Structure 1
């Protein structure tokens, strides 16, 4: 920062302490204490500051006595302008400068502008970025042959600053003298041996400064150019005079002074969306940006996706909404244009638009559509669910609009207990991780009232599959009487009457088939274990027929074709037994219920809880078959 003497400078600082409190902040110019502040906001005012360059620091002290010193800030206090046109000011070895249109009169002393440190008087203003300065050195006072006057660009106002000086001397001609690095040594390139009046010019382009001279300000001759790696963006450009004799003033006059700054490009920053942001197609994306121009105004801000222009904003706040964006990855940027046509681009922001969320799929796998149960029923409901572009979060099970329960992990299922008689429409609703839902096809089931025939506690009976006449079951100690109709217990769907109870886990059922009414030679009666009460359910059936002997028949997979293993050709009465161990089922027959013959073993996957009981089919749709059983045990 620069000020004009006698200056008043406000110093302020921020300070914090991670493990205590700040007791005070001291402010210094070099080693000189300027003042102390003991509470936030921390600051002091430095009054009547004389011309010069000062290094300012703040020193914070905490409640434990520890101190920290801030980075130094350099400020320059210049001499009063004495009527110099704004924004010109002056600084340097004792001297003065005045302006009377169109002439600058600059008086300066100093040993030289040379070596590693300069001594001169300087009339200057800031230059931001590239630009040029032109002046005609009208006169140079003769204090010595190397008395110098000319145009200068310098990095700072420190004596050892990097600088470029295109000068006219009293008697040594024209020269381009410079110091390319802060603290470096000066070098010189001679021009012509011309004396004042003589036109001089310096042009800065990036880190290159070129020096020129001219007799008329129209036709220019380049003296030299050089690279200045120490030059910052903001420089000090102006008119320099050194007498080349310490303590002796030299006065020079300048006219036709012009300073032409280059147009600095504007800056732009895309503030939304954030880099890496994700959206779902068809997306609506709002792009916002900030833009500024240090030497002009912002004319417009254009928004781009790659090389495609999306839209334009001409006033702050700069924003544009991009609608119906398809799935893909996009590189977004904002390009600001200033009032002179210069442009500046923001950093690129990458966003991803994901495809629309695909809803999950779901299907009820149990019970089967049309299944019947005996109330109060216990019904296991299961479903398959998947999501092609995510995960399944939940599966909700409903009877009509009543939520029965929720499963959050595969296998998806629940047990619905104490279901009263009635007709029910079951559905499963899958919800994915993005909130999309899908409802399965409905499955209709019927729960009928329990048998009124006086079966033992825990026993029920029902017709299974397509029967043309209703069956029945009754119990009079120690005999079960079961009447059933149906084409068969065979192929991929059964038709029969079933007296049953529930069995969970491993177990055995034993019965003596006392009689089988002859409706057909394959009229069947026996003990059964089946997974569900659906016609196509997996099952194991150890039977005695009316005229075909004993057999172990079973269905290994739901709705699959039945298989048969023949037993003896015995007729009733005959003992039969089924044993379950995991998914292994073994079938036996016996003449006396003591000595058993194994007819077959098979692996039949079933749920943990199954239906175990007494099955009867007439093997004809034209007549019923009644069978009687005793010695029935389930264990």
Structure 2
């Protein structure tokens, strides 16, 4: 981000004797001679024309040992860039062009005004000398380093830009002031005071005329040169960091009061006053309270809790790479408690210093394997929890000393029920537990590891899991978890014990984080809003860790109704009645105090299904499906059905019972892709039996549109693909005529219909059958949406061709598997053979072709 400090059009005119006094320079600007010039230089400023003019003679001696230039400057601090247009250089030779290539004009940054000061400058040379860059790394250096040359063909007018970010200096040049060429070979890291002198300069080189015999048409022994500058300005750049990713994409856990974040791979020095804290696109800031001089960490003081994104930017050259990584800001740690557990001869301690926690603990005087003693820094917790810390140092008096993370029952006693992840003096990390008071400690898993390393222990439901990491990024599970019953209220924190009554085990932990969910932090609909009917049952058993301890109160706010009845049974099934279509907010509260908010979530209330509809899960899906009315002949079906295939089906079916010739039409709006079994369709079916006769026309997630039917109960179905390229949204239609012939068609616009295949399908369904909507999703819940659903009596003419395979015993079929049909003609002729039913209606065309003479 740039802040304009001094923006004006500054045009230099020819500098001659008697020009305006130095006092007329812009506010804050000054000029001086650096080093020893034969004739004093000058700077003039014309406020009407907004022009700078600088005049200077040359060096007193060859080389660049001291600086000998005339300098117009201002004082600047922090990060900034200076830009100018060198529009004219005048010296010996023709007007506006010099034949002496060491005359130059440009921009400069200096630590002070002495001739041997640390400095960085870039310039454009007279003639075709091009762009040059110079740097003096330390004071009294004999000569300037010459890091490189830019474009040798560059001539005035030429734009120059020099940028300082921290102690990194970069140069650019341009022909138009818009398109800049970066000079990577001129980048330098230069240790320079934050407050420095910044400005424009020029230098003549008369002594080189004498030394090298260069052209001097006027035979002048000392010749001054004049440079013109336009559009000179200095822009401040916000102090920022540039870093590699110190976290590599994983969450950093920091505390609200202060936390250390390792930025050891930051380039350059830390010069910023703040880093950006971006939580959900906000512009909040995390201000740095201090930067430890002997540490590669910064201490942060965030202004809120929860997830956010930390952005670090900074001083790695002009390409200021931005690094962002996720941060979880957790609750301030001032609520930690500490105590010695057991009968300790030597008192333990907890020392908190910045983001470091040092714990010292000895041992119980009795049998340590059962009645162990330790020092415990802990918090009272409930619900799920996660504790992470880095063990940075240890001092164990014996190999039996230990320290790490421990979860214990609400009553903290020696030998109590617990689960812990500890590191011991023998170099092993162990996942341990005790299931009953006074039982021995059981070791579930162990692994050799060396300090420093990270430890993490999580409680999810009743299971405690442990993991280890060397970098806080890549984690390895230790064991498969333990499940001691700590109850709904328990403690969690850090422990230290020595197995030595007289001496302490001392461990230092850093980057400690605790994430603790409240009893009802989990949203029962974690990924999407739940869709319910006007009377619905909602399972909220996953909201609480131990719901039987404190069943919640229920508040329901419905956008269109204030009369909502809610009943919560012993199994935490919430039954709501009286909901109106729209949106409802359901709030579950742990107790009478409204401040003890458990969770709040919204539900979309759909119209109750028409009583004519029936919903069934055909077969045995993993879980119950559920339909919803979306209003205006639109429905959704959520299903766990694995598929309609084989000799037995498993799907969700929303249907009506219909008799006689019927037609069902639906627009498949969407299918939630849960795999190859995901499909939505329309169906005629004999019964709800999984192996029933049926015919279905459906849209699929992977196979386009298909027609599928089962001729006989519990048999394999026939599948015919209509078009593999068609996908929702699309319309599909399935018809049944009075003679049990079925035809299918699809449409992309609901008006132009494309029939499936050449023949209709005969299927011996009873007069009354089940007609409706189908949905499958594999073994994961998926939702399909239907629109423009219509089931109506079919009254159209039956003109579809009908397929009558001989294996179907369909009266009046004159053909059997033994029937042979022969044709005997004396000359080439057209032959057409058709089949009619008893009503005189053509139901099949067996041949329509030209045949040659013969039998």
Query: Shared fold (TM-score greater than 0.5)?
Result: no
TM-score by length of 2: 0.23
Q: TM-score, normalised by structure 1?
A: 0.31
- Please tell me whether Structure 1 or Structure 2 has the larger radius of gyration of its CA atoms: 1
**More strand as a share of residues:** 1
